[in-house]
Structure 1
Amino acid sequence: MRRSRAVLAPFQHPAQVIVTGFGAAVLLGAALLALPISTQSGQSAGWLTALFTATSAVCVTGLAVVDTESHWSLFGELVIAGLIQIGGLGIMTLATLFTLLVAGRLGLRAKLFAQAETRASSMTDVRHVVRRVVVFSLASEAIAALALTGRFLFGYDEPFGRALYLGTFHAISAFNNAGFALWSDSLMRFVTDPWICLTVAAAVIAGGLGFPVVFELLRTWRRPRRWSVLTRITVTVTAVLLVVGTLAFLITEWHNPRTLGPLDDPGKLLAAFFTAVMPRTAGFNSIDIAGMYPTSWLATDLLMFIGGGSAGTAGGIKVTTLGMLVFVIWSEMRGEHEVNIGHRRLPETAQRQAVSITLISVALVALSTYLLMALTPHRLDQALFEVVSAFGTVGLSTGITADTTPAGQVLLVLLMFIGRIGPLTLGSALALKDRTRRYQLPEERVIVG
């Protein structure tokens, strides 16, 4: 027993497990992608290229310094797909476990690893949750793969083997919000194809909602009044962002000859909706991101920064964080001492966690944008877009990723890694850390504003 405790001692905090696990996956993926067999040329891609691609895949981002279609071999593409699957399933599983941990269903965090060693009865619930996450993920990917394979097979006359490969790869990439595509133009060639665009968008949304929300919706979709606060916020904010994003891109890009301009009205609506879904944080694009107006870049920045739902494959600060902040501001404007959402009261600890995560994320994005501009010749709007895309694990780019200096690429690697594990580790650390002060200091009012 002493030996077990000694082995487990370095990993008593969830953040250590996440960082260690994802770091190991990135290094293993980089080692595999650095092999000559991973490239079509038969020459090593170089450690920086391999590290950047592996980080982007494990962190389900989609940013790339080389063209996925022409640079990587079949082996390299399979490695990327495997890393995406590991990253997506890993985040969903760990996030769900820590959600249960925070909810108090598993007891103290230190017992998680002790139960793993002793196989205590309460671990049955953990195994059940993990199994449901894996089954849900694989089933969602299989459905998307089937739809995409059929379209490639019958709509584009691809051979069955090729159609199956394309459908499976892009289903994995879509559900896990990775954004890797096997075409140089991402999905621009399918901009007016609703079968492909809507299938990919549906997979992105399903993966980005988060496991707890998805299964609650499956159980109680006919009874919205029974939804939890998490589900209400996630569904409402997600729907609002999709509608607002679609309208914003339609209005801004309607006459842009480089994006929506050449399309007919149904095509413009489909492309605008697809473009509004991707910042959740998938990274596919059906129109030229570099050709968008700066106002659309700014709208995309905001959507990427917010991201998707908690305990899912999406990144960003999460729609739940934004939703809580909206209710906090609304309650403050009304002069209410408590923040109520529906018929539930929002704890003060959750409010502080939302504010902390948001402000830390804003500071990180601002500092990283400054550093990227100092390390590269890119403009402010380009650097900000790239930084938010990396931090939000989105993968959209204005086309400057490959032209970024090696120092800038290292910065983006760090941002992708922090953006993937940062909000989760920070959120779990804040939620699990509860220190009670046995005294209160005198209160003093401070002028605000």
Structure 2
Amino acid sequence: MRIPAPTRRSVYASRTPIGRIRDMIDEFSEQSPSRFAILIFTAMILIFTVLFSLPVSQAKGAVTPIADALFTAVSVICVTGLSTVDMATHWSVVGHIFIFIGVQIGALGVLTLASILGLAVSRKLGLKSRLMAAGDTNPMRMRHGAVSEGQAVRLGEIGGLLATVAVSSLVIQLVIALLLIPRMLIDGVALAPAITDSFYYSAMAFTNTGFAPNAEGLAPFENDYWFLSILMLGVFMGSIGFPIIYVLSRNLKKPKRWSLHVKLTLVTSLILIIAGAVLYIVLEFDNPKTYGDLNAGDTIFQSLFLSVMTRSGGFSTIPISDLNGSSLLVTDMLMFIGGGSASTAGGIKVTTLAVLFLAAFAEARGNESMEAFGRRIPGDVLRLGVSVVLWGATTVAVSTIVILQITKAPLDFVLFDVISAFATSGLTTGLTASLPDSGIYVMAATMFMGRVGTVTLAAALAASQRRQLFRRPEERPIVG
């Protein structure tokens, strides 16, 4: 009996070292997609740590200390925006190229990027690639077992989503850069720096990273509301999530066809942005270090800008350490919430917050199920949301305690920078840049935990999903 050609090739491949390695990778990725994602993510961080350690990456041609190189690699791949060195002056042109490439990889997601490349080369997407890309855009698909397809993007639409991710990322960054170039020329920036800096700012806005190519940061543009508005647009487009862009690109004028995920993300995001701006106006209007000397119009705009940037943007026109303690706490909460799912933003995600509020509202009204926009939300989504919040809060609490012990710094500053690291926001009180090596490693781990995702990490740590063949007697503890 003759063995079909494809079978012969697979058997032959499995007998070669490369074939055996490929088979092991395939088996590992199928058995535990979450662990495979973390493994690839870790590998990318190690690669960029080596690249940032090279003398060619440093402006002075010296070797960057391993702690700074590792922290920069994590911050770049996690699209956080925190740094322990002056990002504008420490790195050479080659180093900035590595940063630019790294944030693109981190923003799209390693598995999503791999699927996009595979789709570009083979012009088709197999089931395995669809599942990997789906897991990278929806944490619920990282678990074993069946997943309901009543979602923002169905499994059969993953190919279209990947095309949307690639095209939208390129087009949005290109448009933002083209809008920034003439403005920078008007502000007196030379042509060559205006072009390179515009593309740099565009990438850092869309990926929600927040690095600036110039040592002054946004100081030269703090009163240029056109420039700042374009940055806000880029941050918002990156923070709503690629599934949202995918749906809007096909049904922009047909809201009735928008999924529940799209509606919850857009409505909750707008509410948080407006609420944040109002709170900053109320809390900072009389602060002479921030908005106290501004007129009403300037105060409103600057408050709106800061509210948008807390969602993971990372840009700031004022020193964060000058904010009142009440404003720092508001910023902590906004950063912890973050942006949309499967976006370039971090945090627990706005849909998680929406689901928790819907659950509380349903409980207050005595309803058995959560409902929104004419749809019922199943209970497993609530359990996942609670898990995300608890794991996130635990990560922040542990990191804050450790950093407090290491630095003896004020609690509000430590908590702020830790949440910024976890939520990959990039805003800082200045504490991160002054951390010792031990604190740098703790903050790097916090960024990793925040970007990889608490649910994905929890699923990776679990050996397997147990199947329980019995149910224990029910008993209700007292809650509240």
> How high is the TM-score relative to the length of structure 2?
0.85
Q: 2:311 pairs with 280, 283, 295, which one?
A: 280
Q: Which residue does 1:73 correspond to in 2?
A: 92
Distance in 2, matches of 1:189 and 1:92, equals 38
Q: Which residue does 1:425 correspond to in 2?
A: 456
1:20, CA displacement in angstroms?
Answer: 1.8
Change (3 A) 1:416 1:22: same
Change (3 A) 1:389 1:101: closer
Q: 1:54 pairs with 65, 73, 86, which one?
A: 73
Matches within 5 A, 1:308-347: 308-347=339-378
Change (3 A) 1:125 1:192: same
Q: 1:10 pairs with 28, 43, 54, which one?
A: 28
Counterpart of 2:444, as a letter, is: V
1:108, CA displacement in angstroms?
Answer: 6.8
| Residue 170 of structure 2 is aligned to residue 151 of structure 1 | no
Distance in 1, matches of 2:344 and 2:335, equals 13
Q: Percent identity?
A: 36
Q: 1:137 pairs with 149, 169, 174, which one?
A: 169
Change (3 A) 1:96 1:205: farther
| Residue 72 of structure 2 is aligned to residue 41 of structure 1 | no
Change (3 A) 1:366 1:225: same
Q: 2:468 pairs with 426, 437, 446, which one?
A: 437
Please identify the structure whose Cα radius of gyration is greater: 2
Distance in 2, matches of 1:101 and 1:414, equals 23
1:188, CA displacement in angstroms?
Answer: 3.2
Change (3 A) 1:42 1:201: same
Secondary structure at 2:109 match in 1 = helix
Q: Which residue does 1:97 correspond to in 2?
A: 134
1:6, CA displacement in angstroms?
Answer: 3.3
Counterpart of 1:9, as a letter, is: E
| Residue 430 of structure 2 is aligned to residue 399 of structure 1 | yes
Distance in 2, matches of 1:312 and 1:407, equals 30
1:25, CA displacement in angstroms?
Answer: 1.5
1:125, CA displacement in angstroms?
Answer: 5.3
Q: Which residue does 2:441 correspond to in 1?
A: 410
**Greater CA deviation, 36-45 or 283-292?**
36-45
Distance in 1, matches of 2:182 and 2:110, equals 29
| Residue 43 of structure 2 is aligned to residue 24 of structure 1 | yes
Matches within 5 A, 1:99-248: 126-153=158-185, 155-248=186-279
Distance in 2, matches of 1:149 and 1:242, equals 27
1:436, CA displacement in angstroms?
Answer: 5.1
Q: Which residue does 2:19 correspond to in 1?
A: none
Distance in 1, matches of 2:63 and 2:170, equals 32
What is the CA RMSD across the aligned residues, in angstroms?
2.6
1:70, CA displacement in angstroms?
Answer: 1.8
Distance in 1, matches of 2:471 and 2:155, equals 39
1:268, CA displacement in angstroms?
Answer: 1.6
Q: Render the CA deviation track for 1:27-85: whole Å, top value 9, x for unaligned.
A: 11111111122222221121111111111011000001111122111211111111111
Counterpart of 2:29, as a letter, is: F
Distance in 2, matches of 1:152 and 1:403, equals 32
Distance in 2, matches of 1:102 and 1:32, equals 30
Q: Which residue does 1:115 correspond to in 2?
A: none
> How high is the TM-score relative to the length of structure 1?
0.90
Change (3 A) 1:6 1:40: closer
Secondary structure at 1:230 match in 2 = helix
Secondary structure at 1:98 match in 2 = helix
Distance in 2, matches of 1:274 and 1:290, equals 17
Q: Which residue does 2:300 correspond to in 1?
A: 269
Distance in 2, matches of 1:427 and 1:344, equals 29
Q: Render the CA deviation track for 1:260-319: whole Å, top value 9, x for unaligned.
A: 123333222221111000111121111111111111110000000000000111100000
Q: 2:396 pairs with 359, 365, 373, which one?
A: 365
Counterpart of 1:73, as a letter, is: S
1:180, CA displacement in angstroms?
Answer: 0.7
Counterpart of 1:152, as a letter, is: M
Change (3 A) 1:174 1:89: same
Change (3 A) 1:344 1:99: farther
Q: Is the 8 A contact 2:133 2:158 kept in 1?
A: no
Change (3 A) 1:232 1:129: closer
Name stretches of at least 5 consecutive residues in structure 2 with no aligned partner.
1-9, 15-21, 114-131, 147-153
Secondary structure at 1:325 match in 2 = helix
Counterpart of 1:348, as a letter, is: G
Q: Is the 8 A contact 1:280 1:308 kept in 2?
A: yes
Q: Render the CA deviation track for 1:399-424: whole Å, top value 9, x for unaligned.
A: 11111121111000001111100246
Counterpart of 1:269, as a letter, is: I
Q: Is the 8 A contact 1:252 1:295 kept in 2?
A: yes
Change (3 A) 1:32 1:374: same
Distance in 2, matches of 1:100 and 1:300, equals 26
Distance in 2, matches of 1:302 and 1:124, equals 36
Distance in 2, matches of 1:370 and 1:101, equals 31
Distance in 2, matches of 1:126 and 1:391, equals 28
Counterpart of 1:27, as a letter, is: L
Q: Which residue does 2:121 correspond to in 1?
A: none
Counterpart of 1:144, as a letter, is: I
Q: 2:386 pairs with 330, 337, 355, which one?
A: 355
1:215, CA displacement in angstroms?
Answer: 2.2
Counterpart of 1:321, as a letter, is: T
Secondary structure at 1:20 match in 2 = helix
Distance in 2, matches of 1:41 and 1:261, equals 41
